[in-house]
Amino acid sequence: MDAPQKKINIILKTTIDDDGQLESNEQSYHGVLFQKNNMDVLIFEETLEDGSTIKNLLTIYPHKVSINRSGAVKMNQKFQADQITENIYHHPHGKIHMETYTETIEYKKASNGTEGTLAIHYTVKLNGQDKRKHTLKLAYQEEETQ
């Protein structure tokens, strides 16, 4: 039997620290949340400036997170504290090899499952270049039912 889904509002903040040069971005999305056994799954779509879309599927386990993106870009990035993971980021202009070292993952959610926060601190090397520090902060809240 499928787990019931909840409609949620998502705020996603990312920050990249490239040797002191900070680049920040904040986006809001509407999505759905599935909660099953010991994992939570968030699904949402983002629309790029050219009108193309990317489907995002975040799977959150107690000690690891997976972000699967498909559509205009493709990527399956895994985060596990104190671990190095690798993946290939596919976009319209080619492929980029990503090496990710996850420092910390913090996931907190309300006992009733209506809201939660996720924070991931990690470094990324793109195609073997110097690593850059990244912070991903995501907050979700169940949409009000009318």
pLDDT band at 1 (very low <50, low <70, confident <90, very high): very low
Q: Which residues pair with 106 in a beta bridge?
A: 119
Residues of the chain above pLDDT 70, percent: 97
Q: What is the pLDDT of residue 7?
A: 95
Counts of helices then strands in the chain (DSSP H, E): 0, 10
**Are the C-beta atoms of residues 114 and 141 closer than 8 Å to each other?**
yes
Q: Does domain 5-142 have CATH number 2.30.110.10?
A: no
The identity of residue 103, as a single letter, is E
Q: What are the boundaries of each domain within the chain?
A: 5-142
pTM of the predicted model, to two decimals?
A: 0.91
